Amino acid sequence: MTDHTVKSYDDDLSQLKTMLAQMGGLVEQQLDDAIDALTRRDTALADRVIQIDERVDVLEHQIEEKAILTIARRQPVARDLREIMVAIRVSSDLERIGDLAKNTAKRTHALSDQLPRKLMAGVTRMGRLAQVELKNILDAYSHSDAGMAMEVWRSDEELDALYNSIFRELLTYMMEDPRNISLCTHLLFGAKNMERIGDHATNIAENIHYLVHGKPLGEGRPKKDVTAAMRIDLEGSEDR
C-alpha cells in the first residue's frame, strides 16, 4: 500500500505491526517451550514459559496504548482503522494463547516421571499441530494474506478431531485405573489448552479476513469439538 502523506502516520502503524510481530514471536516461543517442558518434564523450562508471560502481558498493554493513541491522533478510517482494530483484537488473542501455554507449562510440575509415554503422545501431537497453526496464522497476519488465513481457519478441524479422540482415550485410562485420574486430568487440561489455542488462531484468521476484505467472515466455522456432549459410561459403550 502507498505511504501516507504524513510520514509519522506510517511510523505509528508500522510500530504497531512490529510490536505485534514481537508479541507473536514471544507467544510462539512460549508454546514451543511449554510443549517441550511437558514432554520432557522439564520444570526449569516450564518456569521460563511462566516468566515470558509477563513480557507478553506488557506488550499487550503497549499495543493497546499505541492503538488508542493512534486513533486519537489520526482519526483513522477504512483500511487504517481496520488495521488498528485488528491489531487490538489479535494482541488479545495472542495474550490468551500465551496464558494457555503458561497454564500447560505449569502442569509439568504435577506430572510424575512414571507417566506412561503413550499417554503423553496424543497431547504432544496436539501441541505440534497447535504450533503449526500459530506459526501459519502469524505468517498470514504479517503478510496480510487472507487466503493463507482461511487455510489455517479450515485446518483447525484437525485439531478438534484429535482433541475428541484424546478426550475419549484419556477417559478410558481413567476408567481402567482410578490412580490415573490425577495425571489424566492434567493431560486433559493440557489437550484442552491446545484446542483453545487453535480456536484463538481461527479468531485471528477471521480478523485477517476482515482486515483484507472489510467484511466479517459470513459463514460459521464447522465446530468439530464434540466433547461437551460426549458421555462414556462405565461399561465402555459410548453414547453421545
C-alpha cell at 96: 490468551
**Residue closer to another protein (CB basis): 2 or 112:** 2
**Residue closer to another protein (CB basis): 154 or 213:** 213
C-alpha cell at 230: 460426549
C-alpha cell at 113: 516421571
Q: Are 131 and 31 in contact (CB under 8 A)?
A: yes
**Residue closer to another protein (CB basis): 81 or 175:** 81
Q: How far is the CB of 217 from another protein (least distance, A)?
A: 14
Q: How far is the CB of 20 from another protein (least distance, A)?
A: 20
Please state the φ and ψ torsions of residue 231, each to the nearest 5 degrees.
Answer: -130, 135
Q: How far is the CB of 82 from another protein (least distance, A)?
A: 7
Q: How far is the CB of 236 from another protein (least distance, A)?
A: 54
**Residue closer to another protein (CB basis): 79 or 221:** 79
**Residue closer to another protein (CB basis): 5 or 112:** 5
Q: Are 101 and 47 in contact (CB under 8 A)?
A: no
C-alpha cell at 232: 462414556
Helical pair 43-74 and 7-40, crossing angle rounded to 10 deg:
160
Q: How far is the CB of 3 from another protein (least distance, A)?
A: 7
Q: How far is the CB of 12 from another protein (least distance, A)?
A: 12
Contacting positions for another protein (CB under 8 A): 1-6, 9, 75-82, 213-215
**Residue closer to another protein (CB basis): 2 or 114:** 2
- What is the sign, positive or negative, of the torsion defined by CA atoms of 147, 151, 152, 156? positive
Cell numbers 466479517 correspond to 216
Contacts of 17 (CB under 8 A, 6+ apart): 87, 142
- DSSP 3-state of 239: strand
